[in-house]
């Protein structure tokens, strides 16, 4: 009697809303909406004709006593924040196992190409099983439920074709979203005493969730896909690269970038039309897609540039792939174009850099160097950023071109990158050091169109003066190098000041006067091998009478090397063209040096320099 009484009370609970268990206000999931709960609680009383539930309740089985509001609240809380179908399935399984003591739950989505439903089943112990139900098996209740969009109950589960699964009763429910069945949900129970209306509601909620995920994935894919090549577009490529670099960092593995650029694409577009150019780019994209691994990714990085992300790949392996792709391209002939030729650059994480943008800059720089080298024996020149001499003219020009073309928004400053590279270079010899210093000085001089070759000229004049006063050879070489870098501090001077075509204002002149200190402290001080050059760079603008800068040293307080550079620097400035005057002749320049001897420059050094000046080349 007590048991019968309890069942009646439970049935009453199921028939009307349970106000003692209100829906928590912080649950935002639509399944927990109060109106839905009210409808769920009246499933027994109402036989809706809504097409979504059509046929579900025509033959209702006996209902298990359940607090619907409590069930929906728990399910909503479990589903909150889930953003994948696997998370959804696991949450539903957990709630069904706890609330209804279900033996297992299984979800299967229809796979159109295979014409089957791929089921994944999870039992109460957490074990998972997989099963494939082919649509050709017309008598399988899973196929029947999918095709007819109807709920089917069975006293067994042998139709799942899963060995060792405990036999039990089962419900097969279609997953319906927007009147379209996308798969099935299977529930295993000891007895057929669950409310099919409630099960259908959950199944269709799951279907809408999966449908929305699919739409979101397609939208994201469309948003990140290049329409011409079907590869990632620039934004999608950057997002994928960011994730792969993080994975490489976490796993301590290599990652390589291959960047390819179609040669003469502008000429092809101009002479043969953009349709022909697009054909060439599509061919390159197709060959890349055919030859990369499943976990490699490719994207259209620029108009005619395609980049490939190669996880867990070092430089040597990346070169091998690049060589194979260029070989396959050389075998393809495009009408009116011939074989497709590409320039190829490679950079590798973490060997080259650990910074994403710099990794791309280096790959692109290598690609431009490949462009400059052209073809060797009919094949592309494949260049890695670890192969080339950074200080060669080709390398510096390509580096500046990349930064100017693509990366002004990155905050990567060309001159600052040169200094960083300069101070981190492994010096192998004095000649190596001179080569780098010459390239760095040339890049700094290039900022000012009126001081072309200024640093190399001052270095040559300083070396000549040092020899004229019979300094030891090692000191001559030190002065030669210091003079080469005497203006390196101009790296920190704004270009609007440095390139001003007229006389500087007082404020601008104060800015310009900072360059000796910038050169000494920012460029030379961090490099132990160059610290003995600091006096030359810092004090070459001091005057013999103490009126110079930055510290107003006078007389022999100014290091001899700095006094030598000061004379050579002034002489080259006098004979060079300026925006406001033409360069002076040798005699006139020597007269001005004589006038400043003893006040601005060391008199003895001026006298010595004047004697050798006519023998020095005055070409600028």
Give the domain ranges of the chain. Answer: 13-221, 236-409, 413-620
CB 89 within 8 A of CB 106: no
Average pLDDT value for residue range 162-181:
88
Q: Is the pLDDT of residue 478 over 60?
A: yes
Whether residue 149 contacts residue 174, with contact meaning beta carbons closer than 8 Å, is answered with yes
Confirm if 332 and 287 have CB atoms less than 8 A apart: yes
377 pLDDT band (50/70/90 cuts)? low
> How would CATH label the architecture of 13-221?
2-Layer Sandwich (3.30)
The predicted structure's pLDDT at residue 411: 47
pLDDT tops 60 at residue 47: no
Which tokens belong to 172? 């097969």
> Tell me, what's the pLDDT at 376?
58
Question: What is the pairing mode between strands 128-134 and 152-154?
Answer: unpaired
What length does the chain have?
A: 620
Residue bearing the bigger pLDDT, 372 or 550: 550
| Rounded average pLDDT over 325-353 | 87
Q: Going by DSSP bridges, is the β-strand pair 104-111/116-123 parallel, antiparallel, or unpaired?
A: antiparallel
Q: Is the backbone peptide bond immediately before 328 cis, with ω within 30 degrees of 0?
A: no
Alpha-carbon dihedral sign for residues 215, 221, 223, 228: negative
Alpha carbon of 322 to those of 98, 121, 357, 515: distances in Å? 55, 44, 21, 45
One-character DSSP codes across 322-352: HHHHHHHHHT-EETTTEE--EEEEEEEETTT
The mean pLDDT of 502-509, rounded to a whole number, is 81
Q: Between residues 130 and 403, which one has the greater pLDDT?
A: 130
Look at residue 33 and give its three-state secondary structure. coil
Please write the tens of the pLDDT for every residue from 557-614: 999 999 999 999 999 888 887 666 677 888 898 999 999 999 999 999 999 999 998 8
- How many whole angstroms separate alpha carbon 336 and alpha carbon 404? 33
Q: What's the pLDDT score for residue 467? A: 93
288-296: long-range pairs with CB below 8 Å, 24+? 288/231, 288/260, 288/325, 289/230, 289/231, 290/328, 291/321, 291/324, 291/325, 291/328, 292/321
Q: Could you tell me the two tokens for 490? A: 């101009």
Place of tokens 């089917």: 152
pLDDT score recorded for residue 250: 92
Of 209 and 410, more confident: 209
Mean pLDDT for 473-477 is 92
Average pLDDT over residues 323-335: 86
pTM, two decimals, is 0.45
Query: At residue 19, does pLDDT exceed 50?
Result: no
Confidence of residue 413 (pLDDT cuts 50, 70, 90): low
> Which of 214, 141, 152 is CA-nearest to residue 177?
214
User: How many Å apart are CA 303 and CA 277, to the nearest integer?
Assistant: 10
C-alpha distance across the termini of the chain, in Å: 115
Check pLDDT > 80 for residue 429: no
The fold for domain 413-620 equals Hypothetical protein af1432 (1.10.3210)
Of 239, 202, 211, 250, which Cα lies nearest the Cα of 66?
202
Does 70 score more than 80 pLDDT?
no
pLDDT exceeds cutoff 90 at 191: no
**Mean pLDDT across 422-443:** 73
Which residues lie closer than 8 Å to 554 by C-beta, 6 or more apart? 542, 543, 544, 545, 546
Residue 312 has pLDDT above 90, yes or no: yes
The arithmetic mean of pLDDT across residues 158-166, rounded, is: 86
Tokens for 301?
């990085």
Dist. CA 499–CA 560, nearest whole Å: 30
- pLDDT at residue 56, as a whole number: 36
CATH 3.10.350.10 fits 236-409, yes or no: no
């Amino acid at each position: 009697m007590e048991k019968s009484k309890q069942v009646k009370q439970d049935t009453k609970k199921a028939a009307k809303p349970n106000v003692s268990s209100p829906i928590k206000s912080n649950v935002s999931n639509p399944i927990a909406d109060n109106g839905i709960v009210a409808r769920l609680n009246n499933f027994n009383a109402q036989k809706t004709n809504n097409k979504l539930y059509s046929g579900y309740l025509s033959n209702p089985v006996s209902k298990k006593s359940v607090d619907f509001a409590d069930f929906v609240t728990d399910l909503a809380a479990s589903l909150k924040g889930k953003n994948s179908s696997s998370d959804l399935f696991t949450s539903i399984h957990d709630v069904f196992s706890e609330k209804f003591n279900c033996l297992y739950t299984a979800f299967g989505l229809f796979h159109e190409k295979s014409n089957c439903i791929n089921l994944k089943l999870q039992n109460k112990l957490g074990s998972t099983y997989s099963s494939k139900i082919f649509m050709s098996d017309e008598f399988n209740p899973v196929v029947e439920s999918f095709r007819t969009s109807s709920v089917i109950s069975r006293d067994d589960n042998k139709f799942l074709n899963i060995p060792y699964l405990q036999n039990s009763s089962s419900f097969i429910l279609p997953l319906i979203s927007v009147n379209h069945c996308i798969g099935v949900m299977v529930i295993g129970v000891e007895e057929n005493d669950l409310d099919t209306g409630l099960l259908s509601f959950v199944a269709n909620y799951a279907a809408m969730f999966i449908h929305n995920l699919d739409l979101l994935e397609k939208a994201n894919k469309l948003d990140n896909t290049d329409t011409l090549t079907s590869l990632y577009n620039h934004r999608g490529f950057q997002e994928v690269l960011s994730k792969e670099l993080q994975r490489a960092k976490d796993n301590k593995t290599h990652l390589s970038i291959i960047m390819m650029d179609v040669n003469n694409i502008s000429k092809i577009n101009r002479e043969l039309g953009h349709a022909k150019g697009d054909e060439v780019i599509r061919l390159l994209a197709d060959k890349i897609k055919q030859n990369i691994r499943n976990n490699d990714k490719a994207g259209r990085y620029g108009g005619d540039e395609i980049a490939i992300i190669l996880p867990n790949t070092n430089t040597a392996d990346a070169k091998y792939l690049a060589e194979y792709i260029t070989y396959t391209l050389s075998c393809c002939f495009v009408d009116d174009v011939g074989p497709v030729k590409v320039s190829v650059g490679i950079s590798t994480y973490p060997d080259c850099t650990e910074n994403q943008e710099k990794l791309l800059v280096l790959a692109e720089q290598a690609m431009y160097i490949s462009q400059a080298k052209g073809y060797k024996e009919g094949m592309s020149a494949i260049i890695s950023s670890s192969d080339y001499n950074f200080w060669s003219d080709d390398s510096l020009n390509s580096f500046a071109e990349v930064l100017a073309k693509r990366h002004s928004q990155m905050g990567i400053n060309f001159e600052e990158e040169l200094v960083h590279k300069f101070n981190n270079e492994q010096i192998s010899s004095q000649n190596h050091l001179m080569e780098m210093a010459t390239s760095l000085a040339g890049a700094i001089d290039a900022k000012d169109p009126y001081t072309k070759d200024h640093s190399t000229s001052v270095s040559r004049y300083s070396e000549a003066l040092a020899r004229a006063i019979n300094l030891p050879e090692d000191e001559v070489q030190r002065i030669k190098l210091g003079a080469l870098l005497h203006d390196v501090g101009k790296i920190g001077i704004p270009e609007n000041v440095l390139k001003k075509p007229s006389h500087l204002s007082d404020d601008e002149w104060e800015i310009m006067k900072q360059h000796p200190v910038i050169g000494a402290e920012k460029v030379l001080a961090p490099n132990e091998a160059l610290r003995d050059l600091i006096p030359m760079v810092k004090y070459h603008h001091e005057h013999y009478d103490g009126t110079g800068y930055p510290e107003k040293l006078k007389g022999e307080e100014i290091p001899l090397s700095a006094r030598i550079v000061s004379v050579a620097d002034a002489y080259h400035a006098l004979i060079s063209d300026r925006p406001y005057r033409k360069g002076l002749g040798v005699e006139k320049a020597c007269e001005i040096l004589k006038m400043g001897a003893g006040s601005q420059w060391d008199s003895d050094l001026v006298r010595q320099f004047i004697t050798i000046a006519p023998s020095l080349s005055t070409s600028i």
